[in-house]
Structure 1
Amino acid sequence: MKHLNWALILTILFVVSCSTEEWDIPTLEVGQEFTDKTVRLIEIDTFKVRTSTFKFDSIVTSQGERLLIGRYLDNYYGTVKSESYMELTAEDYHVPEDAELDSIALIMGYDGYYYNDTLQLSHIHVHRLLEDLETTEENFYNTSSLIFDTIPLVTKRFYPEPMGGDSLHISIPKSFGEPIFNLIKEKSISDDNDFTEQFKGIVLRPTSDGNSNVIGFTKNPKRTYLRFFYSIPEEFDDEDEDDGNELVLDFAITPIYGLSWFNRITSDVTALPLEALNDQEDDLSSNKGGGLTFVQSGTGYVTRIEFPTIKNIGDLPGTGTILSAVLEMTPLIDSYDDMFPLRDSLQVQVVDQNNDPSSFLRNGNGIVYGRFGEADLEFSESLYQIPVTTYIEQELAEAPEIDNGLILIPNDFQNSIDRVVLYGAEYTDFAPKLIITYAIYDE
């Protein structure tokens, strides 16, 4: 066991000296072994907490239900951009031979998600995909890309309404769809394979400059689709209800196809601390990150947490047991607001020495989450409180020692760009704090 931390001893002496009578402690379910022993309950918050940031080489973005499109500028994460790639197919390729194409529109249903200022003008460039939406891997990732026509079919400028609007309507040039529509009428296109031979799909991209927002659209085929409007000319009044009426043929992301879409999510962090992260095994310590650590879904940044002095608890006099261990992490003041909202919880995972995740952290209640709690800090509104008792117990029982740690990630890590900036140990008033409630007996 390493030498005892003298700051820890002083803290313990202070807490014990200020404690109540030996048995004047909260009711504890600590087992029969305590019943005939003198027990003192102390709280320790001087264990070192080491924090750093690393970036996943890639994260899966071809699962879930959300298309993310947009671009914004961030003081900590640089230029954040997301674009969506998708293959479209139809339920039925039947169109009457005398049908006439009237217009084409891309309808995109809002799913309620947004990040940054929705009062800013947004742009969506609609490009034609030039290669099959296929991969040799099991999924597409935030780093994946495919070849597309660099000249867009159309550019839509709009003010997004992610909360109050139903959908976004983008008119597509009729000249784009006329050849495809004629092939369907001629029955040269009669199934999905025929269709994707002629039309690989579309890519939706934001503008390459400016600072606007990232908007979420559903990929539900009932709300997001490419629609061909057509009609059948009235030649004779045969009481056919289709005569003269506008009909539609829809192409959408087909749910039965596992790899039919993905989001490409990138961030340009040039001249920012995060620029130092080139590989998943690279760690940016908080003292090299301006005293901060970083978390962002979509781009793959996560905060890593370690407790290098935790085994010093074995140097305390007497026999003891940990009753609870709570980690407190404080978001950087002024790093969040209505445009950069904080989520009320973060998932916690265990990672090894190479920053590869092994499992979610669990306790008797299931998966552990870091949740907002009230802070005692004068200038901070809130902090994340994370129950880590089971992890600390595992660390103390571990032999030989393994250089693992915990990471914090937003709940919707693959399909959002939520981000958090957290204080590191360099900020005395807001530093991460591990608070252990410890029962000592048999002194």
Structure 2
Amino acid sequence: MRKVTLSFSIFALILACSLDTSEIPTLEVGQDFADSNVRVISLDSFTVAVSTMKFDSIITSGADRILVGQYIDSFFGEVKASSFMELSPLVYDLPSDAELDSVGLVLGYDRYFYSDTTQISNLNIHLLTDDLRSDDDIFYNTSKIPFDSIPLATYTYVPEPQDEDSLFIKLPFEFGEALFEGIRDDDINDVEELRETFQGITIKPGDADNSSIIGFSSDATRSYLRFFYRIPQEFDDDEETLDFVIQIDPIEPKLFNNIQNDLPNSVLDTLIDQEINLPSPESNNLSFIQAGTGYASRIQFPTIKQLFDIPGQGTILSATLRLKPPPSTYNDNLPIRDSLTIVLVNQNNRITEQLFFGGEPVFGRINEELGEFNELIYEIPIGVYVDRELNETNLVDDAFIVYPPEFGQSVDRVILEGEEGNDFKATLVLTYAIYDEEE
């Protein structure tokens, strides 16, 4: 098979055309081609096959964000995030005469939110009834730990992630007293003894909430379980605090987020296995991406080897994929991010590698100059991927997928138009130089 090479060092004189090259004039480009006749053409007629796939699960442990909330999405249905965490003190030491005053949970906003923060939300704090451990020391968006069905506390609020620093949720005195006295009286001296009394908590949204999903920091200085206590003195009591925090442990994660969506009677219901692809022509010419729940857009170029039908030797100067989210699918409450991550997958949709060029990862970026009427279009430079596909000798059903950064600790979503749109369709724009053309 004739090999097509990829070059980004050659300057390009671009003429728009399709695969029919009969009307393209011959251009003399100069010494780079050793006095050969060169034609530089821009091709945009290759088929771009766009589909949706869904990961069976994605890793959410090891994240530095607590995600809690629920909202109803017109595409993904009920989207819900709950957080599971183990909290423990850095030191197990209290004065023997310390007296507990109160206990509460502090959650520091990390400025992340998704959907409508003007609506009332609920936080239900439940005690775990089992240790936060897993067989492989990894937790996923589908993982769960048993918990007491009766909330320890419920907090109703209107989120202000951009304007406020934190929330304070008061917890029952009796709950705090048992833990506090256990440490003070030397009955609890380490994490193993603590787990016999306190395995941790889960924070869940209200069952009927339709508001937003909020991000809180897991940093020990921002979110913690705080015990307020005093030391009796002859005149004024000293006021002190003891904090239980989420401790960083690379071996045994202490935090994960369960993130799910429920959308009955939808075309997305067919994605019950990671190996299934939902072509965009079968889903109203749309492809669906959502972080946290595991949806991603899958891209292939089934007609790319038609490039070999052009006579002569050729060099790919550039290859750019253009994808458009319909303007009606995003707004201030449901924003889209300005970049997309690109990873390669095999025929079973197992990730094989991230796409790199020149030692740097390749990202899709929004090019606002391409859109009309404030429309946004993603551009993805995929010359290195196209070159690989052209020179692949085996018939392999691989592809690449796109999804937002922070895929395991957000619920960002993007809806993309597929390959059969009337006003816009997913397009591969390829700039190609032909030289040593056969007469």
Normalising by structure 1, we get a TM-score of 0.92
Amino acid at match of 1:210: D
CA displacement at 1:375 relative to structure 2: 5.2
Cα RMSD (Å) of the superposition?
Answer: 1.8
CA displacement at 1:370 relative to structure 2: 0.3
Distance (whole Å) between structure 1 residues aligned to residue 245 and residue 412 of structure 2: 27
Matches within 5 A, 1:2-21: 11-13=18-20, 17=23
Distance (whole Å) between structure 1 residues aligned to residue 420 and residue 209 of structure 2: 34
CA displacement at 1:62 relative to structure 2: 0.5
CA displacement at 1:400 relative to structure 2: 1.0
Alignment partner of 1:329 is 2:323: yes
Q: Deviations over 1:268-316 (max 9, x none)?
A: 0212221111000011110111110011110000000000000010011
2:112 aligned residue: 113
Distance (whole Å) between structure 1 residues aligned to residue 19 and residue 166 of structure 2: 60
8 Å Cα contact 2:17-2:44 kept in structure 1: no
Q: Secondary structure at the match of 1:68?
A: strand
8 Å Cα contact 1:377-1:429 kept in structure 2: no
Distance (whole Å) between structure 1 residues aligned to residue 282 and residue 327 of structure 2: 19
CA displacement at 1:427 relative to structure 2: 0.8
Q: Deviations over 1:127-180 (max 9, x none)?
A: 001100010013100000010001001100111111111111101011111122
Alignment partner of 1:157 is 2:156: yes
2:12 aligned residue: none
1:388 aligned residue: 382
Matches within 5 A, 1:12-31: 12-13=19-20, 17=23, 22-23=27-28
Say which of 333, 344, 357 aligns to 2:338.
344
8 Å Cα contact 2:24-2:39 kept in structure 1: no
2:11 aligned residue: none
1:413 aligned residue: 407
1:201 aligned residue: 200
CA displacement at 1:429 relative to structure 2: 1.9
Distance (whole Å) between structure 2 residues aligned to residue 60 and residue 13 of structure 1: 47
Amino acid at match of 2:210: N
The sequence identity of aligned pairs, in percent, is 44
Say which of 403, 427, 433 aligns to 1:433.
427
Distance (whole Å) between structure 2 residues aligned to residue 375 and residue 404 of structure 1: 32
2:285 aligned residue: 291
Q: Secondary structure at the match of 1:195?
A: helix
Q: Secondary structure at the match of 1:40?
A: strand
8 Å Cα contact 1:48-1:308 kept in structure 2: yes
8 Å Cα contact 1:53-1:294 kept in structure 2: yes
Say which of 245, 254, 257 aligns to 1:252.
245
CA displacement at 1:401 relative to structure 2: 1.9
Matches within 5 A, 1:221-236: 221-234=220-233, 236=234
Distance (whole Å) between structure 1 residues aligned to residue 99 and residue 219 of structure 2: 28
Amino acid at match of 1:60: I
8 Å Cα contact 2:291-2:403 kept in structure 1: yes
Alignment partner of 1:314 is 2:319: no
Q: Which deviates further from its counterpart, 190-199 or 142-151?
A: 190-199
Q: Secondary structure at the match of 1:82?
A: strand
User: How many residues of Structure 1 are paired with residues of Structure 2 in the alignment?
Assistant: 422
Distance (whole Å) between structure 2 residues aligned to residue 46 and residue 256 of structure 1: 51
1:4 aligned residue: none
- Specify whether residues 162 and 402 from structure 1 end up closer, same or farther in structure 2 by C-alpha distance, changes over 3 A only: same
Structure 1: gaps of 5 or more residues: 2-8, 238-242
Q: Secondary structure at the match of 1:311?
A: helix
8 Å Cα contact 2:17-2:43 kept in structure 1: no
8 Å Cα contact 1:78-1:272 kept in structure 2: no
CA displacement at 1:210 relative to structure 2: 2.9
CA displacement at 1:378 relative to structure 2: 4.3
CA displacement at 1:365 relative to structure 2: 5.5
Structure 2: gaps of 5 or more residues: 2-15
2:84 aligned residue: 85
Distance (whole Å) between structure 2 residues aligned to residue 277 and residue 375 of structure 1: 35
